[in-house]
Amino acid sequence: MQTFMQTWHDAAMTTIGLFWMALWAFGLGYLISSMIQVFVTRQRMKRSMGETGPKSVGLGTFFGFISSSCSFAALSTTRSLFAKGSGLVPALAFMLASTNLVIELGIIIAVFLSWQFVVGEYVGGILLILFMWIVVRATLPKRLEENAREHARRQTGDEGEEEDQDWRRLIVTKEGWLRVARRYVMEWDMVWKDVTIGFTVAGIIAAFVPQEFFQALFLSSTDAAPAFWQVVAQAVIGPVAAFFTFIGSMGNIPLASVLFSHGVSFAGVMAFIFFSDLVVFPVLRIQATYYGWKMALYILAVMLVTLVSSAVLMHYGFAALDMLPEAKVVGAITDRVFFEVNYTMFLNVFFLILSGVFLFWKMRTDEGGMDMEPSLGERILSGLSMAAYGWLGIGVVLPLFI
């Protein structure tokens, strides 16, 4: 019993330490993302993305890059683009870019993994879009696309359009920065449950799950040079693991760090990260609501082929360039020293103050209004988040009773 309580304490402190490492990165990423979303309107996006072609796919990728990294926001915008006449490929390019080619995700990956994974995230994002384009062009039935668009139009209804504004004027106004503050708080509001659950799960796995489990799950993943079939198998198993965590990429990055420290290959970890936002059950359910189940399952199959192919190709491309990160166990994550007087502490303090100021400003200026009834999924996530806080709170004080 005493051993279990000590491990519980280690898991809780690991969760808090991992979040402390990443706090400033979240703040910086969401600040940059909020500024881009406020000062760059989306009217031009919807006007520019029509039939599939290099220009429309490029625009979809660019607009996705400057958009929100929240998968649910990306799904909503993707549906809107598709319903308003965008081809499926440009719309999916937007979705892939907005969940992979985003600044804050790259910063979090750099904090927890290594520069190779950051390069892999952005190069992989481009590969995902190219492979998706090829697969969709070769396999998409025209009737399926037409039916899905009609379904999406019925779901979209009438949407208000934002006004086109000159960002150079907006950026020097109080109103512009109030919008940034509101967007910044909204970004946190969209992900806090995923982040809470993700970091808590990462701490629990790091403390409680032995390395042998990962060796069995990922098929002898400690081999220095795994065979081709092992790399492919790990690239498939990574998405399966991501599907059942349903946490989202921002919450799954610390878990990806745990997987890599236990010997999972570069391909397996990259596939896990890619899948974390795009192919989890809540996303599949929302896609079915937007487009119908046939299109939702078609998109799922396209994403599976695309993500696994990209992960395997990057693995061997990086290996050919001698750029693969060292696949070795670097020590237990629970043994790390998380809390020190260093740049992390000062950056965290700055973004805690900034977040407090933005939250206070938003609360003072909001006029209120009717809150939307949370979905069943949101209520479940909220309940799990509260349970996670309880787990962490008890775990922190357990040494007083050991």
If one counts every other C-beta atom within 10 angstroms of the C-beta of residue 73, the result is 18
For residue 116, which amino acid is it? Answer: Q
Q: What is the mean pLDDT of residues 292-301?
A: 89
pLDDT of residue 249: 61
pLDDT of residue 396: 92
Rounded to whole angstroms, the Cα distance separating 333 from 260 reads 11
Least confidently predicted of 57-61, 142-146, 158-162: 158-162
199-250 pLDDT per residue, tens: 888 788 878 877 677 667 766 555 556 778 878 888 888 767 666 555 556 6
pLDDT of residue 181: 92
pLDDT of residue 371: 60
pLDDT of residue 349: 94
Distances 65 to 96, 101, 106, 227, 274 between C-alpha atoms, Å: 9, 5, 12, 35, 15
pLDDT interval class at 52 (50, 70, 90): low
The pTM (predicted TM-score) of the whole model is 0.66
pLDDT of residue 330: 45
CB 280 within 8 A of CB 106: no
DSSP conformation class of 328: S
Q: What is the mean pLDDT of residues 146-168?
A: 67
Question: Which residues have C-beta within 8 Å of that of residue 197, sequence separation ≥ 6?
Answer: 247, 251, 381, 384, 385, 388
The overall average pLDDT reported for the chain is: 79
When computed from its CA atoms, the radius of gyration of the chain, rounded to whole angstroms, is 21
pLDDT of residue 158: 45
Burial class (CB in 10 A: 0-12, 13-18, 19+), 166: exposed
Q: What is the mean pLDDT of residues 130-152?
A: 89
| CA dihedral sign, ordered 92, 94, 99, 105 | positive
CB 122 within 8 A of CB 106: yes
Q: pLDDT at residue 170 above 70? A: yes
CB 192 within 8 A of CB 210: no
**Among 59, 42, 33, CA closest to 163:** 42
Q: pLDDT at residue 148 above 60? A: yes
pLDDT interval class at 175 (50, 70, 90): confident
Question: Which residues have C-beta within 8 Å of that of residue 304, sequence separation ≥ 6?
Answer: 239, 279
Domain boundaries, the chain: 2-156+174-366
351-367 pLDDT per residue, tens: 999 999 999 999 998 86
69-116 pLDDT per residue, tens: 556 567 766 777 787 677 888 888 888 887 778 777 788 888 888 889
13-28 pLDDT per residue, tens: 988 988 888 788 778 7
Q: pLDDT at residue 2 above 80? A: no
pLDDT of residue 285: 72
For residue 171, which amino acid is it? Answer: I
pLDDT of residue 36: 66
